[in-house]
Structure 1
Amino acid sequence: MPDFLQLGIRKEINHTLKSLGIVTPTSIQERAIPTILEGKDVIAQAQTGTGKTLAFVLPILERIDVNKSDVQALILTPTRELAQQISKEIKKMKENLEGVNVLAVYGGQDVEHQLKKLKGVQHIVVATPGRLLDHIRRETIDLSSIQMLVLDEADQMLHMGFLPEVEDIIYETLSIRQTMLFSATMPNEIRSLAKKYMVEPEIIEVTAKKITVEVIKQVVIETTDRRKQATLLHLIEEDRPFLGIIFCRTKIRVKKLQDALIANGYESDELHGDLAQSKREKAMKRFREAKIQFLVTTDVAARGLDIEGVTHVFNYDIPQDVESYVHRIGRTGRAGSDGVAFTLVAPKDLEFLRIIEKGINQRLERQVIKGISVPD
């Protein structure tokens, strides 16, 4: 199997990928990256969780000319969460590149702040259709310099009624652009959109396997935010993990939970972006050597974490996308050993649970703990 260098990705980006523990391309990346680098139009049918974001982000970064000050790539996406996620991914990947600028443009943000940012040099814009059209009408963004256009989650844009806006946006770009369409399904409207706006596109289909590792037992515990802490402590007491990683949404929640574990007599340490590198390394070393039983962490801090002997993963806060879920639970059940992944789900998390189950193509076992996770 080729590595990223063989696919045409330069060593600076490859270095970033390696530092994040990403060494082997997924099949969508292996097939899409060389085709996109050749400048061809692409229709890629791939589920979330197949690594599709990097399949278009990496070749876009390869082809940005930092000596030009205009917008060269536009990534259209149906939701602000996805826009934030993709721009975050681009920012991570450009860490070792000089002068590449990226801006996320979506509703709910301060328009004045966006206007100020758009006056500066932006090479890549990640946007939702509604807010982008708003800027087009205000004449605060010019798309005539776009060389690369990505329509991500095209079927979801159709489902949300964004197709007329998408066509209005495409109309603002030059016909000589390269167009990349990524969609989990291919309804007729998406096919006719492709036919209308794409030139001899290369069709790439990646069938979603059951993405999660078979040896991991996955359980959803139905609870409430208020009862999460007591529920976690109960699960720890009942299951007695040898080594457990506990994922929280924010640094503040990591700190709060870490204090609670210490107060309850558990050997535990925290891992997040605010810690000095020396402290992070010390925490990792103690966990690796099983001097502590638990590591409480954010997603960012746990990227590329590969530790033998992790018996349990606890999603104290549910991840908000499939990739994060698969990445998190994959910290256990390594090298053929069994693992358990508990996900604590409050009523407000049910939408994320639905997204995850759809993405991994399976329904997860649900449990309630009477008197603990829910009232008697």
Structure 2
Amino acid sequence: AAAAAAGGQRDSGGGGGEPAGPTFAELGLQPALLAGLERLSIGRPTAVQRLAIPALRRGRSALCAAETGSGKTLAYLLPLLERLLGRPEAPAAEAEGPAAPRGLVVLPSRELAAQVGAVAAALCAPAGLAVRGLTGGGAAGGLRRQLRAPPPGPAVLLGTPGALREALRRRFLALERLRWMVLDEADSLMDESFTELLEEILAHRTQVVVVGATFPAGLSETLAKFTDVDRFVTFSTQSLHHLPPHVQQKFVRLKGRDKLPELLQLLKERPSSAGAVLIFCNSASTVNWLGYILDDHRIKHLRLQGQMSATARAGIFASFQKGDVSVLVCTDLASRGLDTSRWKE
């Protein structure tokens, strides 16, 4: 699943009849990162990785727009980790002081943070770089424990906005050593509650990489309040906003009262070998309401929505991904960058 999430390809350069292009080694990545890619069973770079890696290695800030599944995670992780390896620094001085990462990835949900964290950990292990995740939903002591878990002094931190904001407020986290920051799924991060945190991070004049399949109107204007957007380079793949050829779509126009009976019929008639089903609802209350109805019809399912406690959410998507349960009822919390391919044990 990590390889699928990262978007790497075993022996092609990005699909769509494109030439294979250079290998990761030919892009100049260090042996430790190549060893991490081998652990993930990833071969040649995809199109977005071939575009992004050379420029990000040179320290350029960037806007990176590419379709879902194209390999954006590796497109930013590989060159930014390369920069950390190329400029080693001593670990943070005191284990009792605030954590002081050199790289920061901001993600909209704990589930996506866990997924990207798994890829980052596989890449960083051969390089000896420590990776830590920081997600909210618990007491302040939980944030402190996440940041101080061994080994101390994470080189790379992956966090959700709320957890990062709280850790900075409580001075569990310091940004003085920060060298780069990534905003992953940026369109879901750009709201008023995030701008204060963004301003604090960008005050440290870091390399900034903004990543997404779509960018909201006004993104450049928002960033321009805190950083020089004119110095950003822009990457965009040719397949952006195009449906992948292997994805089939079917649209059914229904009246509101017919939606539930139609859904129940589809779920009951689908063969057990038909694969996974994601049912998106527009609110947490609708997720719960539909879940109760599926219980009444004895349709086994999982629920995932943002009003759940951190304890309740832990492991739900992973359980769905592993195939323990084939139906997931969720809000758009599960629509952002999550790898829905099934794990193979």
Interval of TM-score (by shorter of Structure 1 and Structure 2): 0.5 to 0.7
For the 8 Å contact 1:78–1:156, the answer to whether it is kept is: yes
Q: Equivalences for 1:1-376 in 2 at 5 Å? A: 1-64=21-84, 65=88, 67-69=90-92, 70-98=100-128, 100-109=129-138, 111-119=140-148, 120-158=152-190, 161=191, 163-196=192-225, 197-199=227-229, 200-206=231-237, 207-208=239-240, 209-211=242-244, 213=246, 231-232=271-272, 235=273, 319=321, 345-346=326-327, 348-349=328-329, 351=331, 355=335
Normalising by the residue count of structure 1, what TM-score does the alignment of the two structures yield? 0.57
Alpha-carbon offset, residue 213 of structure 1: 3.5
Preserved contact between residue 63 and residue 209 of structure 2 (Cα < 8 Å): yes
- Aligned in 2, Cα 1:195/1:24: closer, same or farther, shift over 3 Å? same
SS of 1:7's equivalent?
coil
Alignment partners' CA distance in 2, 1:356 and 1:118: 25
Gaps of 5+ in 2: 1-20, 93-99, 251-262, 277-318, 341-345
Q: Structure 2: how far apart are the matches of 1:92 and 1:357?
A: 18
Equivalent in the alignment of 1:338: none
Between the aligned partners of 1:41 and 1:357, the Cα distance in structure 2 is 21
State the alpha-carbon separation in 2 of the partners of residues 129 and 353 from structure 1. 14
Q: Is the 8 A contact 1:144 1:172 kept in 2?
A: no
> Deviation of residue 14 (structure 1)?
1.3
Paired residues, number: 249
Q: Which amino acid aligns with 1:190?
A: L
Residue-by-residue CA offset, 1:173-219 (whole Å, 9 max, x unaligned): 444311111122222221212333245100111233543547x999x
Following superposition, the deviation at residue 60 of structure 1 comes to 2.1
Query: What RMSD over aligned residues (CA atoms) do the two structures have, in Å?
Result: 3.8
Is the partner of 1:4 in helix, strand or coil?
coil
> Which structure shows the bigger proportion of residues in strand conformation?
1
Separation (CA, whole Å) in 1 of partners of 2:330 and 2:59: 40
Q: Determine the C-alpha separation between the residues in 1 that align with 2:337 and 2:60.
A: 33
Separation in 2, partners of 1:49, 1:6: 23
Structure 2 distance, partners of 1:105, 1:37, is 26
Paired residues of 2:109 and 2:333 also in contact (CA < 8 A):
no
Summarize deviations over 1:104-139 as a string: whole Å, max 9, x none.
111124532431342431111111111111111111
In the alignment, the residues of structure 1 paired with residue 334 and residue 143 of structure 2 have an alpha-carbon distance, to the nearest angstrom, of: 32
Q: Counterparts of 2:249 and 2:62 in 1: how far apart (Å)?
A: 37
Write the distance in 2 (CA, Å) between the matches of 1:87 and 1:157.
18
The answer as to whether partners of 1:318 and 1:352 remain within 8 angstroms in 2 is no
AA aligned to 2:166 is D
Identity of aligned residues (%): 24
For residues 30-88 of structure 1, the C-alpha deviation after alignment (integer angstroms, 9 at most, x for no partner) is 11111111001101112321110111111222122353423111111111111111111
Deviates more, 1:45-54 or 1:166-175: 166-175
Q: Deviations over 1:144-186 (max 9, x none)?
A: 221101111111123xx3x442443432444431111112222
Give the ranges of 4+ consecutive aligned residues of structure 1 lying more than 4 Å apart after TM superposition.
Answer: 350-354, 356-360
The one-letter code matched in structure 2 to 1:176 is R
C-alpha deviation, 1:350, in angstroms: 5.6
CA distance in 1 between partners of 2:264 and 2:113 (Å): 30
Structure 1 residues 110, 14: CA separation in 2 closer, same or farther (over 3 Å shift)?
farther
TM-score under structure 2 length normalisation: 0.61
Q: Supply the distance in 2 between the matched residues of 1:51 and 1:134 (Cα, whole angstroms).
A: 30
Q: CA deviation at 1:349?
A: 3.4
- Taking the aligned partners of 2:67 and 2:134, their CA distance within structure 1 comes to 24
| Cα separation, partners in 2 of 1:217 and 1:75, compared to 1, 3 Å | closer
> How far apart in 1 are the matches of 2:173 and 2:334?
36
CA distance, structure 1, for counterparts of residue 106 and residue 235 of structure 2: 19
Unaligned runs of 5+ in 1: 237-245, 248-316, 321-327, 329-343, 361-376
Q: Residue 42 of structure 1 contacts residue 180 of structure 1 at CA under 8 Å; is this kept in 2? A: yes
Residues 95 and 173 of structure 1: CA distance in aligned 2, closer, same or farther (over 3 Å): same
Counterpart amino acid of 1:156? S
- What CA deviation, in whole Å up to 9, does each residue of 1:290-324 have, x standing for no partner? xxxxxxxxxxxxxxxxxxxxxxxxxxx7549xxxx
